[in-house]
Chain A
């Protein structure tokens, strides 16, 4: 028995589960974006797919009036949002338990993603993110480095996504 974490250098792709995090779905009209961003301490980005980080929290622009905010568990963003509600009406929904987050990394990670994502992931800039599909399951893919990704997957889709990841990793390891 060993409690050592096996880290094979030759492993072309590593799939890890990340710790639970606070996830918030924010909807606010463009006219109130700045006001609310100031209250949350986040400069909410306006271009779909771009991210902004501050004080350990991260905001991703998913659509013209939709943002995903990820922060460490226990962060209180609801109070400042509530205080700003009169000036910047919005909807802020806690969706922390809706998804799990997988970290995908390693030299062959782009091959792994290309097997299941129709979007050209190689062309995604480092530091960007996108809501896209992984074999028909809607996922949010964050590119943190050239071969370093995070993938938010709805819990109900997770078994399907995991089985595909295992299958593709096996194929990559076998040189297929």
Chain B
């Protein structure tokens, strides 16, 4: 079973305690009304669909918290996880994990 490290529980736990929650670091526009239809469509629906390292959100049932993860979509390996609100982890750090 896939094991995921929760940055809030500081524990590595089975995948079944977690829920996937889409791509990470997508900021909601401050003034949605000012956006064109295309820009709003992009915000709502257009995603990276990365092949390889992918920034994404997960939620842990244990602590009820959303956090960010960098997961390789080819190998399904979690390269790192970090708390919500923290800056995007650079890709160069993945080898250190």
Question: Would you call B62 an interface residue if the criterion is a C-beta within 8 Å of the partner chain's C-beta atoms?
Answer: yes
A-side contacts of B13, CB under 8 Å: 119
On whether A64 and B62 interact (CB within 8 A), knowing A118-B17, A132-B17, the answer reads: no
Q: Report the minimum CB–CB distance from A110 to chain B (whole Å).
A: 16
Q: Which of B10, B13, B16, B63 has the most CB of A within 10 A?
A: B63
As a 0/1 sequence over residues 100 to 126 of chain A, the CB contacts with chain B under 8 angstroms (1 = contact) are 000000000000000000110000000
Q: Are B9 and A118 in contact (CB under 8 A)?
A: no
Q: Counting CB contacts under 8 A, is A130 at the interface?
A: yes
Selected from B14, B63, B64, the residue in CB contact (under 8 A) with A118 is B14
A48 neighbours in B (Cβ, 8 Å):
8-11, 62-63
Interface residue? B5 (CB, 8 A) = no
Q: Which A residues are in CB contact (< 8 Å) with B1? A: 118
Q: Quick check: is A62 within 8 A (CB to CB) of the other chain?
A: yes
Which B residues, 46 to 97, have Cβ-Cβ distances below 8 Å to chain A?
61-65
Chain A residue at minimum C-beta to C-beta distance from B65: A63
Closest to B12 in A: A120
Task: Kindly list chain B residues whose C-beta atoms are within 8 Å of the C-beta of A133.
Answer: 16-17, 61
Within 8 A of A (CB), among B7-42: 8-11, 13-17
Size bracket, chain B contacts: 10 to 19
**Minimum Cβ distance to chain A for residue B62 (Å):** 5
Mask, A57-91, CB within 8 Å of B = 1, is: 00000111010000000000000000000000000
Contact in complex: A66, B17 (CB < 8 Å): no
Complex-state Cα separation, A63 to B62, whole angstroms: 8
- Chain A residues with Cβ below 8 Å from B65 are 63-64
Task: Flag if B14 contacts A119 (CB, 8 Å).
Answer: yes
State whether A63 touches B17 (Cβ < 8 A). no
Check B63–A62 contact: CB distance below 8 A.
Answer: yes
Q: Which 3 A-B pairs have the closest CB atoms?
A: A63-B63, A118-B14, A118-B16
Can you identify 21 A-B contacts, CB atoms within 8 angstroms? A48-B9, A48-B11, A48-B62, A49-B9, A49-B62, A62-B62, A62-B63, A62-B64, A63-B8, A63-B62, A63-B64, A64-B8, A64-B63, A66-B64, A118-B14, A119-B17, A130-B62, A131-B64, A132-B61, A133-B16, A133-B17
Residues of A whose CB lies within 8 Å of any CB of B are 48-49, 62-64, 66, 118-119, 130-133, 136, 138
**Which B residues fall within an 8 A CB radius of A?**
1, 8-11, 13-17, 61-65
Given contacts A119-B14, A130-B62, A132-B62, 11 further A-B contacts (CB under 8 A): A48-B8, A49-B11, A62-B63, A66-B63, A118-B15, A119-B13, A131-B61, A131-B62, A131-B63, A131-B64, A132-B61
